[in-house]
Structure formats: structure tokens, C-alpha cells
Amino acid sequence: MAPGRGFAWPDERQELLLRVALHDRDEALAAWRSWQVAADLESVDAGSFRLLPLVFRRLEAWGCTEAAMPRLRGIYRQSWTRNAFLYRLLGPTLQGLRKAGIPVLLLKGVALAHGVYRDHGARPMKDADVLVPPQHLAAAEEIAFATGWKWKQQEERPLWLDVRHLTAPTRHDLDLHHHVFHWDSRDETDAAFWAAAVPLEVQSVPCLALCSADQLLHVLVHGMNWNPEPQIRWVADAAVTIVDAGPALDWDRLLAQARARDLLAPVRAGLLYLAERLAVPVPPGVRRSLVSTRIGGAARIELAVRQRGSDGVLGALPLLWFDYRRVRVAAGKPAGVGGFLRELRRALAPSGPGSLAAVLLRKAIRRLAGRRRERGRGGRPLP
């Protein structure tokens, strides 16, 4: 799928904002002027709003004194303050995990803000993602409860999507993971991530984070998933990861990890977009390798579905199917439609088959409403 096809990709105005956040001074300031003509700071879409703290830091570094700067400074401070509350809540939990001897690997926002952006306000986040080994998950849950977290009320999820979602009275969330990718429970898969992890200290607690190649893989794969709120932040996360790592980024490891997990399709799409549209320094050899790599039909279909989502009453089913299929394949088990439907019924409709239709209908209505909202914000329409 070419860049620009699907809601996972930035539209023209979002690309301008990304250029402000990622490019050198002259090109970034030109993009900022163009963005101000095309967009209104007070009514930006949610994805663009999440980029504004980083945009502010770039403009501030260049000495900009435009009328928009006080508003941007307020958005940055809001992000910094919210993140500071999240870190304060997370600190006792991390301390408890360390005291219990449970290894901790931080994922997504916290790891990126501390280890890549190195700016607590430039990378907004709504939750903290904490990975512990599967054998320590139950103990980690108890430590989270003891340090103020509670179960988050939400719809029941299929049994194969077993991330633990917790929340605090401050409306901050904590996601407890026991695998880097929820669909892959193979011991050797996570062992490779843990073995290459790098130290990262958060709230004075020594933890771990994915190495730069694995971090980039994680960002690219998650970035390819459509969401009612535009997920264009993945572009900044990936670009900043690449630039921050510089020559130390192990591109061979990135490609090998992607091949081993059948994730070349999203990795290729994301890296080619970064290189071709935003001039992010992806080595020419890596680009040639990606262009020459054949992506199978099933992988292309999965990427298209994940990027674009699905409308209609049964719109949630394709996305759930691909997650289910990956879980079964990783476990070395057959992935049949009959087993998929039985698992859905057991997970989503415990009170009877009629509940399954109701759950799927609610999911479809929310998905459709999200698409309509996004079109209203200037999101890219389906071709």
C-alpha cells in the first residue's frame, strides 16, 4: 500500500506540522507558516494536537516570538504537568516491582519520553506501558493494586488480547504487558527483546527499555493501526528514534526481527514513507532491501485492514481475526474460522449468542462514528 492510502497516514496539514517538528530550521519555519495558513491552532485534530508540545520546543529553540507561542507554551506545560503526575503515580509501582525482584521493561510513551525525546513534556501520553515476564504477571498485578491502581472498566476483550488495563483516580492509566507484541507468546521471541534491552531510569528506579532497533520496530508496527484519533505521532516517534540512535541503530537487527515475526509489511510501509515524504535518514541499502522484498498477499491484506479499519456492523471482525490468527500461528496452532467464532462467543458473549451481535454492533457504531469525526477534521477519505 502506497503512503497516503488509509487513516494511519498523515494528511497534508499533518505533514506540514511534522515537518515543523522534524526538519531543520529554515524548512521547518516555512512549513510552520504554511500550516498556519491551512489550519487553526484552536481547532486542530487530536493527532495534530499531540504534536504541538514538540512543535513548541522546536520553535522555542529557534527563538520564535510569534503570537501563537503563548498558546503553544500552555499546551506544552499541560503535557509536562500531566506526564509528571503519571510518573509520580508510576514511581511507587516501579519501586515495588524492583523490591520484589521483578524485571521491568518500559514500552511506548514513557520509554520514548525518557530515553529518546529526553523531554518530559514533548511527548504527551495517556498511560504508562510496563512489561514484566509472564511468570511475574500475577505478582505485578498485586503490586499495582497495592500502589493505588484499580481495574479499568471496559468491554470484555477476546481471551487472546490479555493486556491488563488499570487506572487511577487521576484518570491516568497503566497497561501491564507480559509480551512485547500481545499476539506472540513464544518464549524465544521475548527473550530476544529482553537480551538486547538497554538501561533506563525512571523516578530514580532502574528499569529497561527496548534497544533502538526494537524500539523502532515497535513504533512502526503500532503506528500502522487505524484509530479514531489520528495516530500520526508514530511518525515523530520513529523519526526521533532514528535520529537519536544515529549510526548505533542496528538496521540489520530491525529487518531480521521484522522477518522473524512476519512484520515486514508495516516496517517497509513506515520506513519508505519516512524516507520518501519526510527525508528521515533511512540508509539507502535498507531502502533497497525493503523495496526488493516480496510481501505476500495475506500480509498486504492485513496491513490494508489495519491501516484503514472497517465500516459496517461487522467492522470489528477483520481486525480481531488478524490478531487471533497471529496468536494461533505464533503458538504453532491452526487458525480456523470456526475456532475464531467460538473464541469470540466465549470471550464477548458469555450470556448467549445474542450478546455477541450486540457487542459487535456497539464496536461498529463507535468505529463508524470515529471515521465520521475524522472526516470532519479533514482526515483523508477512503479512495
Q: Which tens digits make up the pLDDT trace of 202-236?
A: 999 999 999 999 999 999 999 888 776 777 899 99
Amino acid identity, residue 35?
Answer: W
Same domain, 178 and 234: yes
Distance from C-alpha of 255 to C-alpha of 286, rounded to nearest angstrom: 8
Q: Would you say residue 367 lies in a domain?
A: yes
Predicted confidence band at 378 (pLDDT cuts at 50, 70, 90)? very low
Same domain, 315 and 230: no
* Boundaries of domain holding 356: 309-376
Together in a domain, 69 and 142:
yes
State pLDDT tens for residues 297-310: 888 888 888 887 65
Taking CA atoms, 357 is separated from 33, 187, 354, 361, in Å, by 49, 35, 6, 6
Domain boundary among 266, 297, 328: 297
Q: Side chain identity at 54, as an amino acid letter? A: L
Domain boundary residue among 240, 271, 297? 297
> Does 201 reside within a domain?
yes
Q: Would you say 234 and 222 are in contact if contact means Cβ atoms under 8 Å apart?
A: yes
| Phi, psi of 201, deg, nearest 5 | -100, 125
Task: Tell me the per-residue pLDDT of 298-357, one tens digit each, with 9 for 90 and over.
Answer: 888 888 888 876 554 456 677 778 888 887 887 788 888 888 877 777 665 544 444 555
pLDDT tens readout for residues 64-120 = 988 999 999 999 999 999 999 999 999 999 999 999 999 999 999 999 999 999 998
- Which residues touch 341 (CB under 8 Å, ≥6 apart)? none
From the list 136, 128, 287, 264, the residue with the least C-alpha distance to 200 is 128
> What does residue 68 show for φ and ψ, rounded to 5 degrees?
-75, -15
Residue 225's pLDDT is 80
Pair (70, 187) in one structural domain: yes
Q: Do 286 and 317 belong to one domain?
A: no
pTM of the model: 0.85
Shared-domain flag, residues 356 and 217: no
Q: Is residue 20 part of a domain?
A: yes
Q: What is the DSSP string of 150-203?
A: EEPP-----TT--PEEEE-TTS-EEEEESSSSTT---HHHHHHHHHH-EEEEET
Non-local (6+) Cβ contacts of 150 within 8 A are: 166, 167, 168
Record the cell numbers describing residue 302, joined without a space: 492485513
Does 313 share its domain with 293? no
Question: In whole angstroms, what is the distance from residue 141 CA to residue 149 CA?
Answer: 9
Assigned domain for 1 exists: no
Stretch (H or E) spanning 223: helix 212-223
Alpha-carbon distance 124 to 19, whole Å?
18
Q: CA 35, CA 266: separation in Å to the nearest integer?
A: 28
Cα–Cα distance for residue pair 7/10, rounded to 1 Å: 7
Q: What is the pLDDT of residues 124-166, one digit of tens each?
A: 998 999 999 999 999 999 999 999 999 886 544 544 456 788 9
| Same domain, yes or no: 287 and 325 | no
Let me know: does 174 contact 168? Beta carbons within 8 Å.
Answer: yes
318 shares a domain with 282: no
CATH number at residue 113: 3.30.460.40
Residue 69's contacts (CB-CB under 8 Å, 6 or more residues apart) are 56, 59, 60
Domain membership flag for residue 382:
no
- Distance, in Å, from the CA atom of 309 to the CA atom of 128, rounded to the nearest integer, reads 25
Q: How many domains does the structure of the chain reveal? A: 2
Assigned domain for 169 exists: yes
HSE-up of residue 340 (Cα within 13 Å, Cβ side): 17
Last residue of a domain, one of 256, 272, 297: 297
Question: From the CB of residue 296, how many other CB atoms can be counted at a distance below 10 Å?
Answer: 11
Q: What digits encode the pLDDT tens for the residues 254-275?
A: 999 999 889 999 999 999 999 9
Measuring CA to CA, which residue among 232, 220, 218 is closest to residue 265? 220
2 is a domain residue: no
In this structure, the answer to whether residues 146 and 268 fall within a common structural domain is yes
Q: Are residues 212 and 355 in the same domain?
A: no
Determine, yes or no, domain membership for 160: yes
229 with 360, same domain: the answer is no
273 contacts 234 by C-beta, under 8 angstroms: no
51 vs 33: CA distance, rounded Å: 16
